[in-house]
Amino acid sequence: MRPQAAESNVEGDSGPWFPAKFCVDCIEELQASQFKRYCDSVANTTCAREQRSLLERGPPVNLRDRLAFPESEDQEIGALWYAKDNAVHTAKLKDSLEGAARQALWNDLRQFVIVDEDPEHNGEGPVPKTT
């Protein structure tokens, strides 16, 4: 992995500030796509375990990525600081919702719950039949 240029450095805040492992362009791509990817994953997954995990956490509001921000302990980031302009930026995801609108979406997403699947099944291969 090559070192990042100073102007592409970004830091995340979920408590203390810490450097992101991705460049600004990658972080901004995550911000632009992560909310839609979450909604699509809930609606289209065929794995009940994955879906339960997504629905338990609920629709994301802010950026969250365990590889980009390993120190965040897989929690959402509160804010971003960009070295290129020495300023704090929002970590809010494009199109993400808050408050009552988020709760309404969460309720709507629950309609996609996969039923009749063994809760211990890992999503690989056919679902074991129970007799």
pTM recorded for the entire structure: 0.76
Q: How far is CA 81 from CA 16, 50, 58, in A?
A: 12, 32, 26
DSSP letter assigned to residue 128: P
Distance in angstroms (rounded) separating the CA atoms of residues 75 and 53: 14
DSSP letter assigned to residue 12: E
pLDDT digit string (tens) for the chain, length 131 residues: 333 455 556 767 666 888 999 999 999 999 999 999 999 999 899 999 999 999 999 999 999 999 999 998 899 999 999 999 999 999 999 999 999 999 999 999 988 788 755 555 555 554 444 43
Q: What is the pLDDT of residue 7?
A: 56
Q: What is the pLDDT of residue 57?
A: 93
**Could you tell me where the DSSP H helices lie in the chain?**
24-44, 48-57, 99-109
